[in-house]
Structure 1
């Protein structure tokens, strides 16, 4: 017999808070709707969103009907929860474009998910409607006591942002009434907004009649406390045109051993027994990075499909073997986009080229590397000291990929 979704979340160290266990179990038994909201601040989601996307799939596997609500209306305002300052407002056109982009992604990731846009009802509501329909059911003292609001009062909170939690509460009510949605989930920073919804529904249908309940999950942080999903180069996007399949795959390959077990629990639906098996296998030969490879395979397949994984592994193998010229143009550009680039003038003698690009620390070291065959350009390591590096040696477009030793690569942009 399948255990409850709450038990599953506890075992995966995901569960933070929930409003009512009895209502959640009833919702599971009845196959009720469960929803999570996504702010359309960009036209793609990023790896920081993966935890809630996977959770929607997890709830689906436990018999719930998953719903994603895109904030086409609330995205015009921005959620103030635990943000240090007010967000820049997007235009209606920007928000609409972002909604379309995210909707396509969610439909691909969870094919039978119900994706809705809260602008469909909020966009038609006048200020008088808002005050009569929603505002009258929210007490000012109740709102000011919420941590996500009170934490911003001293730093400044506009009426615009102050209204956000009421609008989100109304979203839950609309889904409760129209989509048989009884459960809202979110990160631990969404507790205030979620309880606004459960309390608002109770005020509309009667507390004893309300089936509405909410669950928050632990935020995914790395061992150093940094929020998961941030890199030096910015967000890791789910859109392959923003972050290639190779870059996405490498992001997970490069995770620390200590973070991998948590990432497996949070970002996959692999059974815990399977995760433990991978962990044990990894511990015998950590240098093989078995956990990282399996994690990268699971998450890349979920986001980019089998073809995306095969492309990422093909590029990884080509880098390992040095056979870069077997790759297609878009695959070579994936490598280039993932690496730091150094600009250099065309026409330099190769020893000067190696020093100028800091591949070698001196001309003497450059000559030694060349004589040892430790420098390779386009699969050729038989390079003469007198060679001139120019546009005839480009790997792709105006870039040269240089290999030093067995596995160190440099991307040089010719100017």
Structure 2
């Protein structure tokens, strides 16, 4: 599967500091120490609808990580999946009366357009669930050899007890796990399972559902094992530096992915787990079931500058839960105009302290609000005359900071 076309990243006049990130598993901020390229896996969309601002918030958050690593001097190996066959997609296709393949391809293309407009750096490997089926089959066979897979009727299940580290990623107690498992696509009450938390890795063929041949009979993969198989194949190492996604993926998705990979390889799945907060609208988390989605494409089609959308998201720390409002958007539209006017002046207040502040903020758990505030202060000083008209004017300030906001924050003016 092809990704989108990414922007060129300019070379900065300074090297960023080592990147520290809040690790969900330990609950602490850890300094990332990539060996070779920094390896990042960010779970992708299930393409049954358009990209909403909750999606964009997550992908922009970890685009900042990609950029912070690069400014710190690391190569980055970024991989992302597309769950282009799964129950929500099939249900949506049936409801609206379209072919599920057509729906998946259409919404995946819209996602590419949204990510390109928002200047998110593309993954080195953008892999669909369907094209990963051979990888999934191979991983299931490895789990079978380890004694970690068993059959219930026509389906295969992963035994969570096979992974001694199961539960370490989320830190949740069993009651919480069972609740989230039932709410997020699991089947804790199915008869015949050894443990209510065991998850399906191969779903046997059902009438009117897509299915593929396998040594286990015709069927399709479970959700969690797709990401584990894609990550192990395309990141090029058993242990990645960061597994990332929205906080609703902490359990069961990331816990199960880790379990599959750790049993198969005997190595930790990730050195750190990073999760973005949820974006709400009208008092609730944005979700299809609640019907309170704000779509990136709808904003773009309303002539909203994508840089204003990106800046509005950058004003919030990636780990925070927060609520989208029209006021947030219009404030960002005004801010983009102010920034453009300041950059157009050429000379301005001193740039060097701002460069240092921006790079330090992003290296400190991707603190985009602090970084954008540093630019705000420079804009205020420059538009107010300090710098351009004063003796300490920096004649190259705008040119320098345009490079920084592009490379580090992903904003283009």
Q: TM-score range by the shorter chain?
A: 0.3 to 0.5
Higher relative contact order (CA 8 A, sep 6+): 2
Structure exhibiting the larger radius of gyration computed from Cα positions: 1
- TM-score when scaled to structure 1? 0.47
Structure with the larger helix share = 1
- TM-score when scaled to structure 2? 0.48
